[in-house]
Structure 1
Amino acid sequence: MTTQTRVVTCADPAIDHLDRHGYLFGYPIAHSLSPLFHQTIYDHLGLRWSQLLLESTDMSQFLRLLKDPKLYGASVTMPHKLSIIQHLDDLTPEARAVGAVNTIFRRGDQFVGTNTDTIGVAESFFQNVRDPEAICRGRPGMVIGGGGAARAAIYALVQLMHFSTIYLVNRDGSEVEAVIAWCKSQGYGDGLIHVSTATQANALDGPGAIVACVPNYLPVTESEKEARRVTEVFLHKAHKGAILEMCYHPTPWTEIAAISQKAGWQVIVGTEAVIYQGLEANRYWTGRQISEMPTLRVKEVIAQELSKAKL
Structure 2
Amino acid sequence: MSHAPVASNTPKMPKDFHIFGSGISFSISPTIHNAGFRHYNLPYKYDIRESTTIDQVSNLIEEEKFGGGSVTMPHKLHVHKFCTEQTDIARLIGAINTLIVKGSGTERKIIGENTDWSGLHSIITAYAAKTNQQPKAGLVIGAGGASRAALYAMHRSGIERIYIVNRTLAVAEKVKADYQSIFQIDVVDNLKELPCLPDVIIGTVPADTTTEEQFSAIFGTRGLCIDMAYKPRHTPLLTAAQRHQEWRTVTGLEVLLAQAYDQFRLWTGLEPPVEKMEEAVFVHERETEKTRAGML
TM interval, short-chain normalised = 0.7 to 0.9
Count of paired positions: 273
| d(CA) in 1 for partners of 2:123, 2:288 | 23
Letter in 1 for 2:236: E
User: Residue 238 of structure 2 corresponds to which residue in structure 1?
Assistant: 257
Question: Is the partner of 1:234 in helix, strand or coil?
Answer: coil
Inter-CA distance 244–307: structure 2 relative to 1 (3 Å threshold): farther
Runs of 4+, deviation exceeding 6 Å: none
1:173 aligns with 2:166: no
Question: Is the partner of 1:111 in helix, strand or coil?
Answer: strand
Question: Contact 1:142/1:210 (CA < 8 Å) preserved in 2?
Answer: yes
- Of 297-306 and 277-286, more deviation after overlay is shown by 297-306
Which of 149, 160, 163 matches 1:164? 160
User: Residue 216 of structure 2 corresponds to which residue in structure 1?
Assistant: 232
TM-score, L = length of structure 1? 0.82
Which of 96, 99, 108 matches 1:101? 96
Question: Contact 2:165/2:191 (CA < 8 Å) preserved in 1?
Answer: no
Question: Contact 1:153/1:211 (CA < 8 Å) preserved in 2?
Answer: yes
Trace 1:283-302 onto structure 2 (pairs within 5 A).
283-288=265-270, 290=271, 293-302=272-281
User: What do residues 203-236 of structure 1 show as CA deviations (whole Å, max 9, x unaligned)?
Assistant: x22211111111112548xxxx9xx64x43221x
Displacement of 1:304 in angstroms is: 3.2
Trace 1:51-62 onto structure 2 (pairs within 5 A).
51-62=46-57
Which of 15, 40, 45 matches 1:45? 40
Inter-CA distance 244–232: structure 2 relative to 1 (3 Å threshold): same
Letter in 2 for 1:217: D
User: Residue 303 of structure 1 corresponds to which residue in structure 2?
Assistant: 282
1:29 aligns with 2:24: yes
User: What do residues 96-142 of structure 1 show as CA deviations (whole Å, max 9, x unaligned)?
Assistant: 11010000011221111000001111112334566354161xx2111
Question: Contact 1:125/1:132 (CA < 8 Å) preserved in 2?
Answer: no
1:144 aligns with 2:141: yes
User: Residue 5 of structure 1 corresponds to which residue in structure 2?
Assistant: none
| d(CA) in 2 for partners of 1:269, 1:199 | 24
Displacement of 1:25 in angstroms is: 0.7
| d(CA) in 1 for partners of 2:92, 2:132 | 25
Which 5+ residue runs of structure 1 have no aligned equivalent?
1-17
User: What do residues 235-267 of structure 1 show as CA deviations (whole Å, max 9, x unaligned)?
Assistant: 1x3x31011111112x32111111111033211
State the identity %.
28
1:84 aligns with 2:106: no
User: Residue 195 of structure 1 corresponds to which residue in structure 2?
Assistant: 188
User: What do residues 243-297 of structure 1 show as CA deviations (whole Å, max 9, x unaligned)?
Assistant: 1111112x32111111111033211111121112111111111122x2xx21022
| d(CA) in 2 for partners of 1:63, 1:37 | 24
| d(CA) in 1 for partners of 2:127, 2:284 | 21
Question: Is the partner of 2:208 in helix, strand or coil?
Answer: coil
Which 5+ residue runs of structure 2 have no aligned equivalent?
1-12
Inter-CA distance 133–194: structure 2 relative to 1 (3 Å threshold): farther
Question: Is the partner of 2:284 in helix, strand or coil?
Answer: helix
Displacement of 1:89 in angstroms is: 1.2
Question: Contact 2:69/2:99 (CA < 8 Å) preserved in 1?
Answer: yes
User: What do residues 13-52 of structure 1 show as CA deviations (whole Å, max 9, x unaligned)?
Assistant: xxxxx81111111111001001111000000011011111
Question: Contact 1:169/1:196 (CA < 8 Å) preserved in 2?
Answer: yes
User: Residue 280 of structure 1 corresponds to which residue in structure 2?
Assistant: 262
